[in-house]
Structure 1
């Protein structure tokens, strides 16, 4: 082995060790920084509007956006926490007072296919000896309770991480112009001098399009369906609306919530003009994303909407919520580079020809 090749291998090995070490040090903050960059890119146009309207600096505008966003987040969380606390206290009071009464099942329940007989037996035992039934299923109840508390704790940690990412994103927005220049320089170094700015603009536009086309549509759908739930008088309308928002972000159909609610309304309130009209409204509102998504998801992005949609769905499946943004960016950049490679194919004039000897 020559000395020059050995030097190259040693340098490459040292660089690889340095890169791996840096990644291990940075990996605990990877999700936090990714969310911070996504939030900064999404909210930066709002910062420029506030800066222009108030005539203030980037830092103060970013601080104002972060404070308003935290207040908007904390108000519904506080109300939701109070509602859950009151519900738990009421349930404990009812259980301690011995006021829990389960009505006996109808005889027709036993004739239901597959689950009818077992369901009738458990239901009958619940109506006569609820304590004994609870003791019988105590291990399953304990396991379910622990899983529910674990999910609740995970949601709380996710919320804290989101607030921290929002604060860090505000710092990133305060240095938005220099950050954009740095991103252009890095992209130019990776993809070539003539493509750096275009790639940077494409990534920025894709992230904002996903934020508008996924989270924005989910929020609009939550408002539309929530109004219908309130008019119907559905108990827990706020929690169900929040579930609709989460389903929309996860790219799952809102009909998973609206159809059972419509069935509940017809069972409890019967069929009337009001219930039929409100049920039709809620059902149509649950399908609104099919109309809004093609209009908003690919807007402002120089790639076809199906590419962004497939990237969002695939990123969600492979990387969770953060993959919802990373997937479309990767697919959009790959799509652009692929067609640039196709268009840059050599012509016949560029192919060297051999002269006959």
Structure 2
């Protein structure tokens, strides 16, 4: 008995040590696993053409790299020009002063008069505006540095995820078989059902989120183009990336709408506001959960709660993890409620 307890203790210490070593790469490993699992059918199709395993894995990694880095490169190139224009506009405003407040600002209910007076006060004395914002300069610089560090961390995570995904592709069959045997040892007769739920949920979540991002990006681009907003393709691309988060495309079209109001294009601003609310943002709460629920065989409400709750708890990675965890939990609850009667399917390999 003492030897068994000692063995379990040593095993627990070993597991904790492995977790401690791999913890810095936890996010990259999960991203690589999600990428490989969702794109595994495409990898198998490449393998059926006669390509060697290593070459097929390398092609999949290169395709993923291009699909992610090319839009980012386009966005950075356009964003650099916009930052320079913004810097020049700020310099001109500091030299020449602000123009008078637009007439529409005073018509805004409740706060329009105060905002118009504040604007005109700054237009008369630019130093008053500088003094107003001076206490926030440090906060803005800190937020900018934090954002740059987050971006750098994301780039490093993405690089590690691509590196790891190559080996996941290469050893996919072995990893899938090992996970299936492990799941069978842990879950017994429920292993087949759990493996099916995990596979459908992961693929449904990935396809739903990516499909929704593409649709949201295209819809946002269409609205911005119709409203004659500059750099509509770049902003549509940014909206597509942001659509993977629960807030999504409004982070793009709302500032564009405010910019139109500020330039006096009230009609186009109203059009963009209605277009964004009805065409872009409205379907976002239906398209994403619909695709996820269809692929994962999950009820609609748990899918919505999984996406939003996962994002709030784990960030972007939680958008994928939330529905997966809820799907597994619901499956276990059903099996327990049915007394295991539905868990009669044999375990199926996870890497299919």
State the 1:244 CA deviation: 3.0
* Corresponding residue for residue 355 of structure 1: none
Cα distance between partner residues in 2 of 1:241 and 1:7: 63
Cα distance between partner residues in 2 of 1:219 and 1:212: 11
State the 1:36 CA deviation: 1.0
* Corresponding residue for residue 330 of structure 1: 325
Is residue 2:151 matched to residue 1:155? yes
Is residue 2:143 matched to residue 1:186? no
Deviations 1:28-68 (A, max 9, x none): 1111111111111111122122333x431232122112212
Cα distance between partner residues in 2 of 1:182 and 1:198: 17
Cα distance between partner residues in 1 of 2:271 and 2:126: 39
Unpaired stretches in structure 1, ≥5 consecutive residues: 347-357
Is residue 2:70 matched to residue 1:75? yes
* Corresponding residue for residue 344 of structure 2: none
User: Greater CA deviation, 205-214 or 103-112?
Assistant: 103-112
Cα distance between partner residues in 2 of 1:139 and 1:279: 33
- Number of residue-to-residue matches in the alignment: 338
Cα distance between partner residues in 2 of 1:251 and 1:28: 26
Which SS does the other structure have where 2:315 is aligned?
helix
* Corresponding residue for residue 306 of structure 2: 311
* Corresponding residue for residue 16 of structure 1: 12
Cα distance between partner residues in 1 of 2:110 and 2:273: 30
Deviations 1:226-255 (A, max 9, x none): 122123221343454345334432223645
Alpha carbons of structure 1 residues 100 and 147: separation in structure 2 relative to 1, 3 Å: farther
Cα distance between partner residues in 2 of 1:120 and 1:270: 17
State the 1:135 CA deviation: 4.0
> Any residues of structure 2 matched to 1:40-59 within 5 Å, and which?
40-52=36-48, 54-59=49-54
Deviations 1:4-37 (A, max 9, x none): 3x44433333232222222212211111111111
Q: Higher relative CO (CA 8 A, sep ≥ 6), structure 1 or 2?
A: 2
State the 1:308 CA deviation: 3.2
* Corresponding residue for residue 200 of structure 2: 205
State the 1:114 CA deviation: 5.5
Cα distance between partner residues in 2 of 1:165 and 1:293: 24
State the Cα RMSD in Å.
Answer: 3.1
Which SS does the other structure have where 2:295 is aligned?
coil
Cα distance between partner residues in 1 of 2:95 and 2:46: 56
Deviations 1:182-209 (A, max 9, x none): 11011111111x3334322321221110
Cα distance between partner residues in 2 of 1:107 and 1:61: 62
- Contact residue 303 and residue 336 of structure 1 kept, 8 A: no
Alpha carbons of structure 1 residues 225 and 35: separation in structure 2 relative to 1, 3 Å: same
Alpha carbons of structure 1 residues 140 and 328: separation in structure 2 relative to 1, 3 Å: same
Cα distance between partner residues in 1 of 2:5 and 2:245: 45
Q: Larger radius of gyration, structure 1 or 2? A: 1
Report the TM-score, using the length of structure 2 for normalisation: 0.82
Is residue 2:215 matched to residue 1:215? no
* Corresponding residue for residue 352 of structure 1: none
Which SS does the other structure have where 1:249 is aligned?
coil
Alpha carbons of structure 1 residues 114 and 141: separation in structure 2 relative to 1, 3 Å: farther
